[in-house]
Structure 1
Amino acid sequence: MLTILDKYILKKYLSTFSVMLLLFAPIGIVIDVSEKINKMIENKVPIMEILVYYFNFTIYFTNLLFPIFLFLSVIWFTSKLANDTEIIAILSSGISFTRFLRPFIIGASIVSVFILLMGFFIVPKASEGFNNFRYTYLRGDGKQVMRGDATDVFRQIAKNEFIYVNSFNAETKTAYNFSYERFNKNKLQYKISARRIQWNPKTKNYTLYDFVKRTVGEFGDKIEKADQRNAKFSFDLEDLTPVIYIAETLDLGKLNRFIEKERGRGSSNINIYLVVLYKKYSIPVSAFILTIIAVAVSSMKRRGGMGMNLAIGIAIAFSFVFFDKIFGTLAEKSTFPPIIAVWFPNFIFGILAIFLLRNAKR
């Protein structure tokens, strides 16, 4: 059962974290607007789409920098408790440092569950809207939604099947400059090409415009042409999108199925998808580690006051983000195991948390 002291600290924990989010989110929006306003005006972006974009941006931005916001908020209010000698009074009353930590752990649990659910269901949708806007209006010409860092997408969808598209429009579910190649014992069996290909959700097939099929024969090639033709293929709609951030736009169930499918195909980008999956679990765990570090660092009254604690906190927080990004990139670009890369920062800072906690107890 929570005591008055537990409720007081828990209230401070959650309220300071919320205020930190409310303070930094508008700053992030203002900086983003100042950088992109000229491009938005140039492409005549509708005001409603801008509002939706910044709603998605806020979710994407806060989820990305969640460890820093949480860490600084705990540093801030715990340092204030220490400077006001409230912590000394609490510990002098006979309460152990471990017992003093309990409301912080409860607060970290609440935040972790919230971040976990957001990462499973809310952030993927926000990420999709955020990236679609970027590639439509900020990198594109306002007409085509480019789903990746490159406009050309070439993928092996089966052992003997390959597809290529120049670009993909996520809103109309249309790909441009499409080609499909099927091989038999390393020899081209036939090739289908189209100026554009569109997915039909009702009939579960594709419509190809300016259809051309070339079948390779022993004594000559057979060529078929049509202005429009419906066809079914073995690939999914997601296969027409670049692989750069597709995993970020899938909720937990779809992401697991997508990874299994890509693993079965022997995809060379499987590490990218696994990093996204493992981070959904590792980021909430970091809430506990960063909370313990923040309390251990800021619970002591220092000569430099709150400013010194904040300086130490900022250095540790950015070190955590630095390690997280470095090892994440290492897993994506090499054969380094993704699960080790994602959890390694938590492991290192977990050891640091234990060391600082023991020192704080003394």
Structure 2
Amino acid sequence: MKIIDKYILKRYLATFFVMLFLFIPIGIVIDVSEKVNKIIQNKVPFGKVALYYVDFTVYFANLLFPIFLFLSVIWFTSKLANNTEIIAILSSGISFQRFLRPYLIGATIVSVFALLMGFFIVPKASQGFNDFRYTYLKGNNKTRETSNVYREVSPGEFIYVSNFNINSKTAFDFSLKKFNDNKLDFTINAARIRFNEKDTTYTMYNYTKRKIGELDDRLETSMKKDTVFKFDLEDLTPVIYIAETLTLGELNDFIDKERERGSSNINTYLVVLYKKYSLPVSAFILTIIAVAVSSMKRRGGMGMNLAIGIGLAFTFIFFDKIFGTLAEKSSIPPFIAVWLPNFVFGILAIYLLRNAKR
């Protein structure tokens, strides 16, 4: 590696990490100012608050690292351009592609680091971050609910609840249908069902069971009935952020299991999976765009480059969020929705790079 490569790579990594460690404390201060009243009101122990902000740091650093990387590259490349260092480098006979090499090496280092973080470390931070929010900060009664849960818990056995409260472990409008050879065997309905932790049983209220016969049905009713079911409590609580809390292997297994059950949230889980791969790739694309935008000396100086960079960064965030939401809520395939922003900005990167060479 030549001196020029070491010089640019050092500036690349140093500026990125400095910007990251400058903005994270600002985010923590803003978050504390918004949540301090609820933290005091709920008498949250200091140790849990400290652990929450460790998870907060990892969670948001992973979420926003492409933007921090983009702005840091624009910042130090603009300084190189304003000091005419880039002109001197290119005038020495180094091609623009050769000049770009240390940037791509830096993007590779950051991307590999982000990829490993996303696979193994960020899921645990995400779980701590979300659990803290739902335990201490969401609402005055500290409840968390999921709604309209419908899934296959075993071959031919389907359950439905209109909503489930995880704190009281109570579900409403419970229904279980059992099929044998594609024929309905029996149905169980209850206005309310509660999980009992002591003996892992369920208590049903306003219970009704209908056994389907060839000529007539048998009906069984009771105001209250205790029973044991094969399904787990987690089958009633598919919280939307559960995919974010799983490592790569766990997430793949979870998605396979949910696909077999016909989960209505499968697109949401696939978006989380695909973003683990697309986010590091965006580091390369945004690095190329940042170099192309800031490598030329402009009349407006560094301020103009930063203005263009911030505009592009927020456009990227907009595309990423819009298409991620569309994948979760519409029929757009999650793979296309997640990778489309990278594809669009990849084309933009090629266009800007050709102009920068000229």
Task: Normalising by structure 1, report the TM-score.
Answer: 0.87
Alpha-carbon distance in 2 for matches of 1:273, 1:117: 19
In structure 1, the partner of 2:85 is 86
Shift in Å at residue 261 of structure 1?
Answer: 1.3
**What is the CA deviation profile of residues 189-222 of structure 1, one whole-angstrom value per residue up to 9, with x for unaligned ones?**
3357643343x9xxxxx71264666543545416
In structure 1, the partner of 2:17 is 18
In structure 2, the partner of 1:155 is 150
Alpha-carbon distance in 2 for matches of 1:247, 1:45: 26
Contact 2:188 2:210 in 1 (8 A): yes
Contact 2:146 2:237 in 1 (8 A): no
Q: 1:290 aligns with which of 281, 286, 297?
A: 286
Alpha-carbon distance in 1 for matches of 2:236, 2:219: 31
Contact 2:16 2:68 in 1 (8 A): yes
Shift in Å at residue 157 of structure 1?
Answer: 2.4
The total of aligned residue pairs comes to 344
Do structure 1's residue 134 and structure 2's residue 133 form an aligned pair? yes
Alpha-carbon distance in 1 for matches of 2:224, 2:234: 27
Do structure 1's residue 280 and structure 2's residue 276 form an aligned pair? yes
Amino acid at match of 2:157: N
Do structure 1's residue 168 and structure 2's residue 162 form an aligned pair? no
CA 1:220 to 1:329, structure 2 compared with 1: closer, same or farther past 3 Å?
Answer: closer
SS at 1:335's partner residue?
Answer: coil
Shift in Å at residue 142 of structure 1?
Answer: 6.8
In structure 2, the partner of 1:45 is 44
SS at 1:303's partner residue?
Answer: coil
Alpha-carbon distance in 2 for matches of 1:191, 1:197: 18
Amino acid at match of 1:175: K
CA 1:161 to 1:108, structure 2 compared with 1: closer, same or farther past 3 Å?
Answer: same
In structure 2, the partner of 1:3 is 2
Shift in Å at residue 130 of structure 1?
Answer: 0.9
Contact 1:153 1:241 in 2 (8 A): no
Contact 1:152 1:167 in 2 (8 A): no
In structure 2, the partner of 1:71 is 70
Q: 1:216 aligns with which of 188, 200, 210?
A: 210
In structure 2, the partner of 1:203 is none
SS at 2:249's partner residue?
Answer: helix
Q: 2:177 aligns with which of 178, 182, 192?
A: 182
In structure 1, the partner of 2:214 is none
Alpha-carbon distance in 1 for matches of 2:300, 2:139: 50
Shift in Å at residue 243 of structure 1?
Answer: 3.8
Amino acid at match of 1:168: I
Give the gaps of 5 or more residues in structure 2.
212-216
CA 1:273 to 1:351, structure 2 compared with 1: closer, same or farther past 3 Å?
Answer: same
Alpha-carbon distance in 1 for matches of 2:270, 2:65: 20
Shift in Å at residue 140 of structure 1?
Answer: 4.0
In structure 1, the partner of 2:257 is 261
Identity of aligned residues (%): 67
Any residues of structure 2 matched to 1:314-333 within 5 Å, and which?
314-333=310-329
In structure 1, the partner of 2:200 is 207
Amino acid at match of 1:154: V
Amino acid at match of 1:114: F
**What is the CA deviation profile of residues 163-213 of structure 1, one whole-angstrom value per residue up to 9, with x for unaligned ones?**
4362225xxxx8334756234445743357643343x9xxxxx71264666
SS at 2:348's partner residue?
Answer: helix
SS at 1:300's partner residue?
Answer: coil
Do structure 1's residue 349 and structure 2's residue 348 form an aligned pair? no
Give the gaps of 5 or more residues in structure 1.
201-205
CA 1:242 to 1:78, structure 2 compared with 1: closer, same or farther past 3 Å?
Answer: same
Shift in Å at residue 280 of structure 1?
Answer: 0.5
Contact 1:215 1:223 in 2 (8 A): no
Shift in Å at residue 47 of structure 1?
Answer: 1.0
Alpha-carbon distance in 2 for matches of 1:337, 1:36: 37
Amino acid at match of 1:221: E
Shift in Å at residue 133 of structure 1?
Answer: 1.0
Contact 2:188 2:208 in 1 (8 A): yes
Contact 2:195 2:233 in 1 (8 A): no
